[in-house]
Amino acid sequence: MIKFEDKTAVDFVIVGAGGAGGVVAKELSTAGFQVVVLEQGPHLHEEDFTHDELKHKDIWIPPFLGQDALTNDHSLQPNTFRKTASEKAEPAAFAQYGRCVGGGTVHFTGNYWRFHEVDFVERTRWGAIEGTGFADWPITYADLEPYYTKAEWDLGISGLAGANPFDPPRSKPYPLPPMPIKSSGVLLERGARKLGWHPYPAPMAILSQPYQGRSACAHCGFCELYGCEWGAKSSTLASVIPLAEKTGRCEIRPNSYVRKISTAKNGHVDGVLYFDAHKQEHLQKAKAVVVCANGAETPRLLLMSKSNLYPQGLANSNGVVGKFFMVDRGSFALGTFEHPLNEFKSVQVTRVVQDFYDSDPKRGFYGGGGIDARFNFYPIGFALAGLPPDTPRWGAGYKKALKQNYNRTVTVLTHTTCLPLESNTVSLDPEAKDAWGLPALRFTYKTHADDVKTLEFFTARSLELLDAAGCVQKWAYPNGDTSAAVHLLGTCRMGNDPKTSVVDKHHRAHDVPNLFIVDGSSFVTSGRNQPTCTIQALAYRAADQITRLAKAGEIASG
């Protein structure tokens, strides 16, 4: 593997080797550029992954081992949280994100939904929503379509084109057939059909057949939250990062924690300062920098990169960095069924419904989403949080319920819109520091009333669906404010107007010509909160734009 010297200015430094960074690294190195990718977390491989529930961070389980290498560790990198700017933020384990080579694509479930055409133009379609920064994207679905196709074929996505009547137009089918249906999928399909809805095979970033030298899924069942031991999940770790390394022009440098992007006198960026695994500081020189650190770490890094030239932080002359923060929203309902489902086998999701994807003025509020059926519990998590609410918490009755329900429970999860509010932000905590002495992430987030109404609407649809599928018992979790977040979006939004957005439609920072930002932070609106597919399509498109600009000599460095 190639190793670059810190002092040699490489063509590009990419900050973050995740869903976006891995794609950009592969594209730029393949196009002939020298690339160094700095990743906070370790470089793990298939043999490092396990089926051990105690080693994984699961929201249902108290943190026993605290050695989860796949996601951020709040004991080293604390968060603070508050609902509004008038409150003092208190320590909280708020945000969870991938922190290893491959980023969130290592532990994600693999749901791979394209945005629909409407997602890019909702402000025009729907009109303004008071108190929000609801806006159109500067690009359309048609602009991104070739890159959705490229992502699906490059990474390896299983699905069935044409099966979802609400799907946007596509230029090519999926490269791989859908995953075999599970009992949760059959039940969703049965219930949905009865209600007149249109279930279809879930598009998944998991290989249903061998593809490009990688093994097909063996149905071991440990996808959601786990790293794939077969390399069958189409993480950037398993798919494009090895291709980037193979070019001989890309170095993946793990355990490298970037604390500042440095700038030259002319205002261009010229490298990044980072800590290695031993907390030794280095300066990696570069002709241009691409930040792909996620919707929380990206704005944090820009805000930490203050200088005399950029007193408000990098790319933040308009103060927009960190604002319009959006998170994963969705409702959660469960049902039990008569017969054993054996949902512990195979991928989590095999059928999806998007009949309520579009916002509908008749509902009286903005919002839409998609519905899937899955079983998102492993044994311990289920035993602590998956039983019906009236179950005894210990003793003979508890044991009986555990035995009866583990193999008969289905979750109906929905994935819904989250409005962009200027007052929902990622910022630097003025007091709390991480284990490197850097300012902790401070989150300010309050749920918009329409988002709650959307959740309530989807809870009602989920319970209807469980009934129609013939459940024995059903129940739902309450909706409202959230105290935890994944799918961090919107904090360096794209736009044509430099006064109201951070990057232009080519992902170039309005303020800095050789700084590019591409990850969930680029989102203008949330879509229906299965963002990975769109993050990666944006990454392919951004890499194309960056290549074009670089080859035309339009990316000058300091």
Partner 1 sequence: MTAQIIPSDDAPGAREARVIYFIDRVLTTFDRDKQPAYAQGLKDLQHKTVEMFPGTNKFSSLASVQQIQLLTAIEKTDFFELVRVHTIVGYLSRPEYGGNHDQAGWKLIGFEDEMTFQPPFGYYDSEYKKDR
Considering only residues 345, 433, 499, 548, which one is a binding residue for partner 1 as defined by CB under 8 A?
345
Q: In the complex with partner 1, which residue's Cβ is closer, 184 or 491? A: 184
Per-residue burial over 144-155, b if 16 or more Cβ lie within 10 Å, else e, is: bbebbbbbbbbb
**Which range in 185-193, 251-259, 276-284, 526-534 contacts partner 1 by CB under 8 A?**
185-193
CA pseudo-torsion sign 132, 541, 298, 290: negative
Q: In the complex with partner 1, which residue's Cβ is closer, 103 or 185? A: 185
Tokens of 466: 């469980």
DSSP string, 262-325: EE-TTS-EEEEEEE-TTS-EEEEEEEEEEE-S-TTHHHHHHHH---SS-TT-TT-TTS-TT-S-
Answer left, alpha or beta for residue 240, where phi above 0 means left and psi between -120 and 50 means alpha.
alpha
- Where in 387-446 is the site for partner 1 (CB under 8 A)? 393-396, 398-399, 402-403, 406-407
Least CB distance from residue 474 to partner 1, whole Å? 16
- State phi, psi for 160 to the nearest 5 degrees: -130, 105
Considering only residues 337, 457, 516, 523, which one is a binding residue for partner 1 as defined by CB under 8 A?
337
d(CA 132, CA 418): 11
Is there binding between residue 62 and partner 1 (CB under 8 A)?
yes
Is there binding between residue 210 and partner 1 (CB under 8 A)?
no
String of contacts with partner 1 for each residue 495-534, x by CB under 8 A: ----------------------------------------
Q: State the number of CA atoms in the 13 A half-sphere of 286 facing the CB.
A: 29
d(CA 248, CA 1): 7
Q: Are strands 409-416 and 369-374 parallel, antiparallel or unpaired?
A: antiparallel
Residues paired with 233 in a beta bridge = 206
Considering only residues 101, 341, 476, 546, which one is a binding residue for partner 1 as defined by CB under 8 A?
341
Tokens of 66: 């605290």
Is there binding between residue 199 and partner 1 (CB under 8 A)?
no
d(CA 244, CA 251): 8
Least CB distance from residue 349 to partner 1, whole Å? 13
Least CB distance from residue 84 to partner 1, whole Å? 32
Is there binding between residue 61 and partner 1 (CB under 8 A)?
yes
Is there binding between residue 49 and partner 1 (CB under 8 A)?
no
Binding residues for partner 1, rule CB under 8 A, total 46
Least CB distance from residue 384 to partner 1, whole Å? 6
**Site of interaction with partner 1 (CB under 8 A):** 51-54, 61-62, 64-66, 180-183, 185-187, 190, 218-221, 229, 337, 339-346, 379-380, 382-384, 393-396, 398-399, 402-403, 406-407
